[in-house]
Amino acid sequence: MPITKEDLYTNIKNSFPDSSINIDDLAGDNDHWSVTVTSKYFNNKSRIEQHRLVQDAVKDSDIHALQIKTIPTTK
């Protein structure tokens, strides 16, 4: 089920209040997204842990494809 960009943004922002978020609709169908999230919550975490946090943040939305890039603030 597709999701609006605003809802996707809100879901991520709620989990990482400090974050800056960039969202791209890859296919123009609200169902294939690319998100880049920069947040202190990723600091000192492995890439897998960082991605799991984002996966958790959006787990209730049924998105067909989500490309994730996470950037810690200390990098």
Partner 1 sequence: MANNISEQIQELVDNNDVILFMKGTLTFPQCGFSSVVANILGNLEVPVKDINVLEDMEIREGIKAFSNWPTIPQLYIKGEFIGGCDIVKEMFESGELQEILQEQKIIAA
Place of tokens 């169908």: 29
- Residue 68 in the binding site for partner 1 (CB under 8 A): yes
- Residue 67 in the binding site for partner 1 (CB under 8 A): yes
- Give the whole-angstrom CA distance, residue 34 versus residue 54: 12
Sheet holding 65-72, edge to edge: 20-25, 32-39, 65-72
Instruction: Find the binding residues for partner 1 in span 1-60 (CB under 8 A).
Output: 47-48, 51-52, 55, 59
Place of tokens 């609006």: 4
Q: How far is the CB of 48 from partner 1 (least distance, A)?
A: 6
Residue ranges that bind partner 1, judged by CB under 8 A: 47-48, 51-52, 55, 59, 65, 67-69
